[in-house]
Every structure is written in C-alpha cells, then in structure tokens.
Structure 1
Amino acid sequence: MPGTVLLLAASPAGKGCLVDAASVLPVLAAVPPAVLAGTETANVVELADPLEPQAVLTRLRAAAASPGPLTLFVTGQLQLDRRQRLPHLALARTTPATVRYTGFPWHWFREELRLRAVGTTTLVLDLHADAESWVWLRANALDCGPTVAVHGRVAPPPGRWRVAVPTYMKAVATVLRSGGRPPLEQLHHMAAARIAGEGEVGDLVLSGTGTGLPSGGSMGAGMGVRAGAGAGTGAGAGAGTGTVAVPPTAPGAALAIPAPSGPLPPLPAHIPRAPVPPAPVDTDPHLAIAAAVQAGRHADADALAARWERSAAVEHGVGSEETLHWAEVRADLAMFAGDAARSCRAWMAVAGARLTAGQPVDAPAVEAAVDRAHHQWGRIGETDSARELGPVLAELRARVPGRREGALDHVHRQLRRLQLQTQS
C-alpha cells in the first residue's frame, strides 16, 4: 500500500525566528519518497513556512485520511499562547502576541491523528522551544496521541541574536540519503549520534509512543547519546557516556537516564552518607534520580547523585570518567532545579577537571562542558551571582573558545553590561 509523507517546516519571519526550519526541506526532498515513507511507493506533500494554520490543518487532515502508512517530518519552533498557555507550532506570521491566532495548535496533531490505526503513524520532530515553552515542557508532555510513534528532539532556545539549525532533521535526511531505511528507532539513534558532537545543550530526546514520551537523554558534544527505547511506558538506555536530560513530566512516562553498569556500590565508612531514602542494591540509581526529579524532589536527586560521585572518586579517582559522569549529572540536576548559578559552577568544575586530567582544550567533552557553563551563566537571574561567575567563565573561555565564533566576546560584553547595572 502506498505511503504518505508530510514535510512541514515552519518558523516566524523576522526577529522572532529561533530556527531556520525551511533549510532542511531541500535535504529531505532529495530523499526518494519511498525511502521517506518506508514503503514501495509514496506521495509526498511539502509545506514550507506556511502562513495560515487552517492551510496546515487542511493538509494534515488530508494526510491523516490516507489509508496507508503516514510519516510526518515536522521542523520548527514551539511557542505558548498567552491565554491558554498551550503549545503551538509557530508559523510565518506568528509573534508572541498573536500565537493563538497565527500559530498551529499542537493538540491539532493529536486530534487529527487520533483515529489512525496503531502502528501506521510516525512523527519525526526537530523542534526548538522559546523560553516559555521550554519551562512548560519541564512540567508537561508534548502530547501526540496514544497511537502515534514519536522520534526526535526538542531543543532549548538558541540564545539571543542566534538562529539555530535543524541539525537533527538534517542528520535524519543524511542517514536516509545514504541508502536504505533503517527501523525508525534505529534511524533516531543514528541521527542523534551524528549531532552528538555539535554542542547541543539540554535537548529533550523523544522516542516512543503515546502521551508519556518514554525517553530521555542529552545530546552532549562528543559524549554519545542517551535515549529511551521501546513504546508505551517502557524505557531503555542507549550506549555511551552521555549526560542526563530528563524529559517532561507526564502521567505514565518512564524516565531513562544514562547509567554506568553495575549495582549501587556501598559507600566507604569515612564518607558521610547523603540523607536520602536507601534504594535496593539492584536498582539503577539513574531511575531513582529521575523519579525524584519528576516528583520535584530536587534535593534528594542531587544527594543521591552526590553519593555516587563520592563513591566513584574513591574507587576510580577524582578525574576519572566515572566520577566526571556523576559531576555532569549533578550539573544537569541543578539546571532542572532552576538553579542556573549552581549548574554553571558545576559545568565549569567539570571542564576544569577534564583540563587538569590532560584533556585538550578542543576535546569535545571539554568544549561541551564550557558551552553548557556559558549557557547556564546566561540564564542566571541574580546580577551578583552572574557578575561573580563571569570572570571565571571568561578565563575558561579564553582557554576553551569552542566552535561558536565570538563566545569570549559575548562573555566580556555581558560582564560590562552587568557592571553598568551595578553602577546605576
């Protein structure tokens, strides 16, 4: 039976644009339709920077009515409307004030796809969230419906005066153009692995079926990828040594966080035990940490990660990968707790430890740690804390400039702005 493919790339025109969504369409269009659909023949519908939500709805409705397999490749940015605080896919005319009328409500995807048979519909997503949507995603699932398989990522805002590139979707297209069409879950992991070295910060990794997207992970530069596997509420962890990123809280959602193998080790007697409830020795500590984060028990999550960090330091050494793994987990946990200053300090400490261990300044793991410290520094709301950490970050940036041109200059400009604020 012929398949149907909908290629949708949308982002606002002008200064509200977070991602150059349409840039992915030529790459996807170069993939044979049958490969895009995973069927012998397929029909492809392309929507590039559509203006009206009703036009998108018409095309989506027609695609959903097709009897064969349906694959939707959606690239763009998420924004919340100011009245109902619901996520929308921003279209060409969307502004923060007009999202409700000019954006495409995300729940329209769920409503139009809800009657399709299980196993016939797949959403492949590469989305960037604005600041409000990113906060919303920490407490809500991006509901795509119980019968739809979802693979992809949601990235945080790229920063002021920057327009992001849909690297995940371009990686998907690159894999598909290389010949053959691997199973979608494998395609997802292959695409995620391709962008793991590009400094993606704090992405939510989506891979599963249903309203509780059952996966989590982060795409850390050069660090490998962690993502859940399977459907429903099950989850697994991929290979690698990546850092933790917890997906949105949702009923029934299982959280998967990267883990070293092995049971929970006992702590040496001379190391004080963290005040957290004991876990069975055969329990993956990452699952316990994820559950604590999901429940809002951020202090418990950090205490458990700290316990593992101390144990790893005693067993493997302070600068070991095992210890640095847990330091990175704690840096991300600080981010999830909303403590940007603590997260910034932790990432700078990780970068310093890697440099002290002899890793080169252009090592992907070193660059990723400094990039994440820089990212969190920009989110610190307290002027005093930002001003305190700024010179330390500037010194680190001078050693590790990273791959983003002007990163050190950005730190110096922000420091001057903070100084002027203090003087005024």
Structure 2
Amino acid sequence: MPGTVLLIAASPTGKGCLVDAASVLSVLAAVAPSVLSGTDTANVVELADPLEPQAVLTRLRAAATAPGPLTIFLTGQLQLDRRQRLPHLALARTTPATVRYTGFPWHWIREELRLRAPGSTTLLVDLHTDAETWQHLIAQPLTVGPGAALYGRVAPPPPRRSVAAPMYMKSLATILRSGHRPPLAHLHQQALTRSYGEDPDAARRDLVLAVTTAPAHGYATPAAGPTPRAPLAAPVPVHAPMPVHAPMPMPMPMPMPVPVPVPVPASGDLSADPHAEITAAVQSGRHAEAAALAERRERAALRTHGPGADEVVHWMEVRADLAMFADDAELSCRIWLMVADARLVAGQSPDAAGVEAAVDRAHHQWGRIDDSTRARELGPALADLRLRVPGRRQGALDDIQRHLSRLQTQV
C-alpha cells in the first residue's frame, strides 16, 4: 500500500526565529519518496514556512486520513501560549504575544492522528525552543498518543542573536539519501551520532525523543554508545480517551476517516478495547452499532463515576464524533453543546482547551444542519455559549448571528 509523507518546516520570520527550519527541505527533497516512507511508493506533501494554523491543519488532516503508513518530518520551534501554557509550533507570523492565535497547537497533532491504526504513524522531529518552553518540556514531555511513534530531539535556545541549524533532521536526511532506510530506532540513533559529531555540546544539552507505540513515553539524554533511557514519565494508558477534534468554528468540509483494518473484539465484552471496536464499526459503515456501543460505555461510566466525570464526558465526545461520521450534524451539535456545558459546570475555565474545542465543534456542526427549523432551535443556545466561550477565532459570535438572520428569512 502506498505511504504518505508530510514534510513540515516552520519558524517565525524576523528576530523571533531560533532555527533555520526551511534549510532542511532541500536535503529531504533529495531523498526518494519510497525511502522517506519506507513503502514501495509514497505521496510527499511539503509545507515550507506556513503562515496560517488552518493551512497546516488542512494538510495534516488530509495526511492523517490517507490510507497506508504516514511519516511526518517536522522541523521548527515550539513556544508556549501565555494563557493556557500549551506548546505550539511557531509559524511564520508567530510572536510571543500571538502564539495562541498564530501558532499551531501541538495537541492538534494528537487529535488528528487519533483514529489511525496503531503502528501506522511515525513522527521524526527536530525542534528548538525558547527558555520558557524548554523548562516546560522538561517537566511535561511531548506526546503524540499511544498509536504513533515519535523520534527526534528538542533543543534549548541557541546563543543570543544566532539561529540554530536543524542538524538532527539534516543528518537523518543525509542517511536516507543513501537509498537505505534502516529500522526507525537504528535510523534515529545513527542520526543522533552523526549530528552530535558535528556539535558535541548538544549531546549533553538536548532532550532526545524516543517514544514508541508502547504505552511508555519518555526522554533520553544522549551519551557515548547506546542512548540510555531516562526515568519514564507516567505511562499513557492503552485505552486513553480520544481527544476532541481541532477547533474550527467556521463551517468547513470534514473528511471522513479512511477504512483501516482493525481487530474487532467481542462486542459483549466490556473489558475489550471499545475504541478499536467502535472505530471498526464506523469504518465499516455500521454507524448505529458504533453509537450503541458508545452509549453503553457512557451509561456504564455514569453508573460508576457519576454525572460530569471525565469518563462520562469522554464518551459524550465520542458520541458527538460518531454522529458527525454518520452525517447527523444536528445530533452532533446537540451533544457538543452538552459536552461544553458539562465541562463548564464541572468548573473548567471558558478558555480551557476542552471547553473551547466543544463549542467550536458545536459551531461547526451547527453550520452543517440542513433543516433550517432545527438549526434555528439550536442557534440561541450556541450563541449563549459563544458569549461565554468566544474561542480563538475572532468573529465567531458574529458568524452565528449572521447565520441566524439568514435562517429567519427561510421561515
């Protein structure tokens, strides 16, 4: 089966730039697509110094829904947004004051990869940070979810008034230009050895990412010989909750997931992995069965944990996603509205990522409702939520009001 390769090189323009990310693209472009992907054939998509988060999201989403293995080569710099302190990939227009609106949130990567089959996704990264983000990542390592492998390095700020070179990614590309693609762990180690030969100080300074599809996630510090593993962060459970979709307030077309073979456990066994079973049902077009499985899990979580518990909210989110996949925009909107309300009632801040995402998804689905009467019914509730949860995109409330006005003319 053909593979997909996504090459992303992103960094701010001007004095905020910490790494010459785009310089690596010419080296990667010289590698045969089949070698980049590790498949017989591959489709390669390149993003050089993107300006808008939505442009990156569109490319990532298309790559994530393509069949076959997915390999992402990501070079750039990470910055924290000042409000939520979440890491973002800095894009061309990003500044410290505008990260929240002009950067690409790292958790969007996890969200877009969540439906991919375990073992089918690899991220190879060469990332640089400012001092604040560096300290944050030491305490809270990057993750991409339990189904993907993550290899690479995170580097601290370069000396003042200098721009770092992405030596890890360049070393990786140079190795692949030979036409041979070693197993990922060996490729990663060879790239480290080559890049630290160019910069010995980095071997004592960088955080090295070596995260496989196993539940354990952690950093390692490079040293002579095989890379020793540092103490692992808390394991990510195999049955971790599905994260919600990336915020997208304005109506946009949503690509459907591409069928990927998934082992299906016995439907009557509550100890089996429900996400694999639900994903298999959706990808086979058995939407009613998938919804029933999620409802059963939500009821069980409600009995065990009570209203508003994280486990209950998670299964509400899954049901909202399933309604979207079944093209029931009205039901999806209603459930996302309930998710947002549940999170707010539980005491979450209106600018919390989960709250914003729920309102954004409700807004998106509301714009896809064909029945004008049903859309008019839901509009006021959505507008009320938008007053409390404006989200990241300016004009979201105005968009609701304009759409409601149009709906009134359709009476």
TM-score category of the 2 structures, normalised to the smaller one: 0.5 to 0.7
CA RMSD of aligned residues (A): 1.6
Alpha-carbon displacement from aligned partner over 1:283-308 (angstroms, at most 9, x marks no partner): xxxxxxxxxxxxxxxxxxxxxxxxxx
Separation in 1 of the partners of 2:70 and 2:189? 20
Deviation of 1:138 (Å): 1.6
Matched residue, 2:180: 180
The amino acid that maps onto 2:93 is R
1:402-421 matched pairs, under 5 angstroms = none
The amino acid that maps onto 2:207 is L
Deviation of 1:67 (Å): 1.1
Question: Among residues 185, 205, 218, which one is paired with 1:214 in the alignment?
Answer: 218
Deviation of 1:153 (Å): 0.5
Separation in 2 of the partners of 1:92 and 1:224? 38
Contact 1:18–1:128 (8 Å) recurs in 2: yes
Q: Are 1:7 and 2:7 counterparts?
A: yes
User: Residue 220 of structure 2 aligns to a residue in which SS?
Assistant: coil
Alpha-carbon displacement from aligned partner over 1:237-295 (angstroms, at most 9, x marks no partner): xxxxxxxxx57x73128xxxxxxxxxxxxxxxxxxxxxxxxxxxxxxxxxxxxxxxxxx
Contact 1:143–1:212 (8 Å) recurs in 2: no
The amino acid that maps onto 1:150 is L
Matched residue, 2:163: 163
Structure with larger RCO (C-alpha < 8 A, sep 6+): 2
Shift in CA distance, 171/101, structure 1 to aligned 2, threshold 3 Å: same
User: Residue 47 of structure 2 aligns to a residue in which SS?
Assistant: strand
1:72-151 matched pairs, under 5 angstroms = 72-151=72-151
When normalised by structure 2's length, the TM-score is 0.55
Separation in 1 of the partners of 2:132 and 2:152? 20
Separation in 2 of the partners of 1:80 and 1:224? 33
The amino acid that maps onto 1:251 is A
The amino acid that maps onto 2:138 is R
Contact 1:215–1:227 (8 Å) recurs in 2: no
The amino acid that maps onto 2:220 is G
When normalised by structure 1's length, the TM-score is 0.53
Contact 1:149–1:209 (8 Å) recurs in 2: yes
Deviation of 1:227 (Å): 4.6
The amino acid that maps onto 1:203 is D
1:312-323 matched pairs, under 5 angstroms = none
Alpha-carbon displacement from aligned partner over 1:43-73 (angstroms, at most 9, x marks no partner): 0000000000000000000000011000000
Deviation of 1:171 (Å): 0.3
Contact 2:87–2:133 (8 Å) recurs in 1: yes
The amino acid that maps onto 2:211 is G
Query: Which piece of structure 1 moves more, 6-15 or 141-150?
Result: 141-150
Number of residue pairs matched?
232
Matched residue, 1:226: 227
User: Residue 138 of structure 1 aligns to a residue in which SS?
Assistant: helix
Separation in 2 of the partners of 1:34 and 1:195? 24
Shift in CA distance, 85/56, structure 1 to aligned 2, threshold 3 Å: same
Shift in CA distance, 106/39, structure 1 to aligned 2, threshold 3 Å: same
Contact 1:207–1:227 (8 Å) recurs in 2: no
1:13-412 matched pairs, under 5 angstroms = 13-197=13-197, 198=199, 199-200=201-202, 201-209=204-212, 212-218=216-222, 223-224=224-225, 226-228=227-229, 246=230, 250-252=233-235
Query: Which piece of structure 1 moves more, 176-185 or 40-49?
Result: 176-185
Deviation of 1:207 (Å): 1.0
Shift in CA distance, 227/195, structure 1 to aligned 2, threshold 3 Å: farther
Separation in 2 of the partners of 1:173 and 1:85? 32
Q: Which runs of 5+ in 2 are unaligned?
A: 237-411
Deviation of 1:178 (Å): 1.5
Contact 2:217–2:234 (8 Å) recurs in 1: no
Contact 1:193–1:225 (8 Å) recurs in 2: no
Separation in 1 of the partners of 2:24 and 2:217? 25
Runs of 4+ in 1 over 4 A off after TM superposition: none
Q: Which runs of 5+ in 1 are unaligned?
A: 229-245, 254-424
Identity %: 69
Alpha-carbon displacement from aligned partner over 1:114-165 (angstroms, at most 9, x marks no partner): 1100110000010011111101012102121110101100011112111000
